[in-house]
A and B are shown apart, each in its own frame.
Chain A
Amino acid sequence: MTKPARRALSPVGTILRGRSDRSPMSEEERQAVIDDLFVDEDARGPYLWRFYVLLVLSTLIAALGLVADSVAVIIGAMLLAPLMTPILAVAASLVIADLKALVTSAAILVTGIVLAVGTAAGATWLGLGNLTVASALPAEIVGRTEPSLLDLGVAVAAGVAAGYVLTHRRVLSSLPGVAIAVALVPPLATVGITLELGDADAAGGALLLFTTNLVAILLSAITMMRWAGFAPPDVSKRATQVGIVVTLALLAAIAVPLTVHTRDVALEQNFSQLVGETVAELDPSSAIDQISADIAPNNRATVDLVLTTTSASPLPAWRLAEALATETGRIVDVNLRVDVERLDAATAG
């Protein structure tokens, strides 16, 4: 049996081998992208000044929006945020195998991350923290401390879009949408706010979300740039392949905690539902006002619960703990507050 003269490359093979059946980008197109992402040394001062000013402003807006629980304000911050440029510059440096550009872009990115977290923490310390407490964070903040595999999916797709937009300059108008989809500054602002409020677990969750976005964008953007023929013909293929493998390894490293996180969130939601059903069964006259459930390691679970009831003998915490322990096979800790409501004869008429 004779082999075909030229074996067709799979898409992945195409990317890894640095070949594309499509026409490579022209030198002008490549230069335009490079001009967008990399700054000449003599223009770096003003660029960095603009970058940091925009970053501080967008972080402040994001922090205010997060504490105010305002989606519109947070989106405003996303559009203003300049972090996408150094991330795409890191991706492009890897594709064109330019070590010097890689170091410069990575340094700008890391200082930007530190500045964003510091700005949000500083704002919280200065007074923003007085508007919220660690025990009752706004939903917009809490949502960013519980990343799941869904977030990874969003980030991968957004990274692909970012790489596509960058290398297909006719669709540049889509860039704001990409910025909103990947949302880099709000997670960093969440890290700063929660750190300053002393909630290290929440800060860790938000940092995981940011890292997820960062790694997914890097991988997707590198892939898209390769696919679009951004790598110049003379670049060492081995260098770009190393870049992709490193990013893939990072992605796998992120996927593990994210998977655990996603499983935990699902477990806790199921457990909260069980608490609701058990309360309804034990005391049908009561209603759940607030519930938070935490499944911890070592087969333990904790429920913080506020109930309202009209019953003269409210549900005791131990009975709920016992029922939940029997049902789940876990050691269950219940912290219960019961507000007993009674009809006021004088005003009820």
Chain B
Amino acid sequence: MRRPPASRVRPRHTAGAGLVVAVAVVAGACTSPGGPETTDEPTATVSVFGPWRGTAADAFRESMEPFEQQTGIDVVYTGSGDFTVDATRRLEDGDPPDVVVFPQPGLMSDLAERGYLVPPRADVAGIARSSHRQGLAEAAAEATSEAGILYRLNVKSLVWYPPDVFTDRGYDVPETWAELETLAARIQAEGTAPWCLGVESFEASGWPATDWVEDIVLRSQPTDVYDAWVAGDIAFTDEEIAEAFTAFAEITLATGRSFGARRGILNTPVGSAQSPMFTDPAGCLLHRQASFQADNLGPGTTIGPDGDTDVFVLPPTSTGTGPPPLLIGGTFASAATDTPQTWSLMSFLASAEGSAGWVERGGFLSPHRDVGPQDYPNEFDARVAQLLADADIVRFDASDQMDPAVGSGTFFQAMLDYIATGRLEEALTLAQSGYAQ
């Protein structure tokens, strides 16, 4: 790609000392155009608003082509880098797209409760129920209060690492929590920060740290504690959750544990947190991040045991013989208008066909029963699908399901404060305070 032409800089006007810059808002977005309106009849379009940009947005657009060919309806996708704020404002301002794709079911159910979304029609919900793997449709319906349909899955309990550096330094992939601790200590002793971590993500800054805490709770506590915490029946200030916060701090916030230390963690965008792993010498060697991290890797970066980076599952803390628990995330689609083309697209998104193009392209974990590991185009996608199929304990991301005031509000802020100050009590109280709002 060519570099942009010269920046044309207009001298800033000075309107006296009274004018001050109060806020700087940084955001990004991308949009695909509608179809060419060359015929006399206007082309029907259906607008979709979601969080994907770049590679993921391209993949979604491409996977909508069969729908456009079958129905003659053009799908116009707009992706926002500041999705939570933009989606909420669009709906509140009475400017809804036809379909909204949510990475957080909690936000979706909140907006549905406030009347901004239209619950899936029975036929659409039926398609999802009959096509999704057993248990998944019900879990998704519960997580979303039936405000939308599950579209894409991701496995969050993964640790990304550079296999070549592991081989050179004689490291083994850890299979227990104790081995992970030993490995991290060894990496640190040999002069490298073990963990890559960055939590900057516009209004959603802090979410990777909430995932860390959730993974630790899911591993260190019985699942009913996790479920009760999600439901708000166990408080952040309770011992079980406080212990997970402390464990997170010991692993990632102690001196020398993360690349860039506390300031670096707070200022590094989520998408580029793994970058120091690929410098020479590597700045950090472990990065706990979901399967969708594949979207953030640079072009040409290969995944696999012989690739530039590979993954292992965040090990269990117990010594049981079963597979480790998996924290998963989902992307959900919900209707915001009640038009024939909206329901036509929603039916497509609920079916396996609605994501077949993306599965084929790679980087998409399907919730559909008929899509097995053999249907994925690469070893990484197939392996993640197999992990999900084999797991005994699977839970949706906790913060995504909590009331947005907590799940994408005070929980995020608490993690940012905790990373900045290390003060546990204040962070726990702040996280819990969202329930009182």
A residues within 8 Å of B by Cβ?
136, 139, 142-143, 145-146, 199, 201-202, 205, 264-265, 268-269, 272, 287-294, 296-297, 302, 304, 308, 313-314, 316-322, 324-326, 328-345, 347-349
Contacts and interface: CB of A to CB of B under 8 A. Distances in A.
10 contacts: A146-B6, A201-B1, A205-B2, A265-B5, A268-B5, A288-B10, A296-B1, A318-B29, A330-B33, A344-B20
B31 A324 contact: yes
B31 A325 contact: yes
Nearest to B53: A333
B10 A142 contact: no
Given A143-B6, A321-B78, A336 B30 contact: no
Given A146-B6, A290-B7, A318 B80 contact: yes
B164 to A, nearest CB: 24
B3 A199 contact: yes
A340 B22 contact: yes
Contact of A272 (B8, B53, B76, B79): B8
B4 A343 contact: no
B166 to A, nearest CB: 29
Contacts of A136: 7
A341 B78 contact: no
B81 interface: yes
Nearest to B58: A331
Interface string B2-33: 11111111101100111111111111111111
Please indicate which of the listed interface residues B10, B33, B53, B76 has the most CB atoms of chain A within 10 Å of its own CB.
Answer: B33
B82 interface: yes
Nearest to A199: B3
Contacts of B53: 333
Nearest to B6: A142
A326 B32 CA distance: 8
Nearest to A145: B3
B385 to A, nearest CB: 29
Contacts of B212: none
B20 A317 contact: no
A326 to B, nearest CB: 6
Interface of B: 1-10, 12-13, 16-34, 36, 49, 53-54, 58, 61, 76, 78-82, 86, 89-90
A318 B7 contact: no
A335 B26 CA distance: 8
Nearest to B85: A316
A348 B18 contact: yes
Contact of A334 (B5, B17, B25, B28): B28
A292 B31 CA distance: 18
B30 A334 contact: yes
A316 to B, nearest CB: 5
Contacts of B19: 341-344, 348
Given A296-B1, A344-B18, A287 B13 contact: yes
Contacts of A145: 3
Given A268-B4, A290-B9, A340-B24, A317 B81 contact: yes
Contacts of A336: 25-29
Contacts of A296: 1-2
A289 B12 contact: yes
A301 to B, nearest CB: 10
Contacts of B23: 338-340
Please indicate which of the listed interface residues B8, B22, B36, B82 has the most CB atoms of chain A within 10 Å of its own CB.
Answer: B8
Contacts of A264: 2
A314 B25 contact: yes
Nearest to A299: B33
Contacts of B79: 318
A287 B15 CA distance: 13
Please indicate which of the listed interface residues B4, B21, B26, B53 has the most CB atoms of chain A within 10 Å of its own CB.
Answer: B4
Please indicate which of the listed interface residues B3, B23, B25, B78 has the most CB atoms of chain A within 10 Å of its own CB.
Answer: B3
A294 B29 contact: no
Contact of A333 (B26, B30, B34, B86): B30
Contact of A293 (B4, B32, B33): B4
A335 B79 CA distance: 12
Nearest to B79: A318
Contacts of B90: 318
B11 to A, nearest CB: 9
A289 B9 contact: yes
Nearest to B11: A289
A343 B18 CA distance: 6
Contacts of B76: 322, 325
Contacts of A343: 18-19
Please indicate which of the listed interface residues A268, A296, A313, A333 has the most CB atoms of chain B within 10 Å of its own CB.
Answer: A333
Contacts of B20: 341-342, 344
Contacts of A143: 6
Contacts of A289: 9-10, 12
B18 A316 contact: no
B9 A317 contact: no
A205 B256 CA distance: 43
Given A288-B10, A318-B80, A347-B18, A331 B4 contact: no
B14 to A, nearest CB: 11
B101 to A, nearest CB: 13
Given A318-B90, A331-B58, 5 more contacts: A325-B32, A333-B28, A338-B27, A341-B19, A342-B20
Contacts of B80: 316-318
A338 B81 CA distance: 14
A320 B31 CA distance: 9
Contacts of A348: 16-19
A201 B5 CA distance: 11
A291 B7 contact: yes
A287 B14 CA distance: 13
Given A316-B89, A340-B23, A292 B10 contact: no
A326 B33 CA distance: 5
A27 to B, nearest CB: 51
Contacts of A314: 25
A290 B22 CA distance: 18
B24 A338 contact: yes
Listed from nearest, the 4 A-B pairs whose CB atoms lie closest are A348-B18, A318-B29, A317-B29, A325-B31
A264 B21 CA distance: 35
A294 B6 contact: no
A340 B31 contact: no
Contacts of A335: 28
Please indicate which of the listed interface residues A202, A205, A334, A338 has the most CB atoms of chain B within 10 Å of its own CB.
Answer: A334
A328 B4 CA distance: 18
Contact of A331 (B5, B6, B32): B32
A153 B5 CA distance: 21
A334 B53 CA distance: 10
Contacts of B2: 201, 205, 264, 294, 296
Contacts of B13: 287
B3 to A, nearest CB: 4
Nearest to A318: B29
A322 B26 contact: no
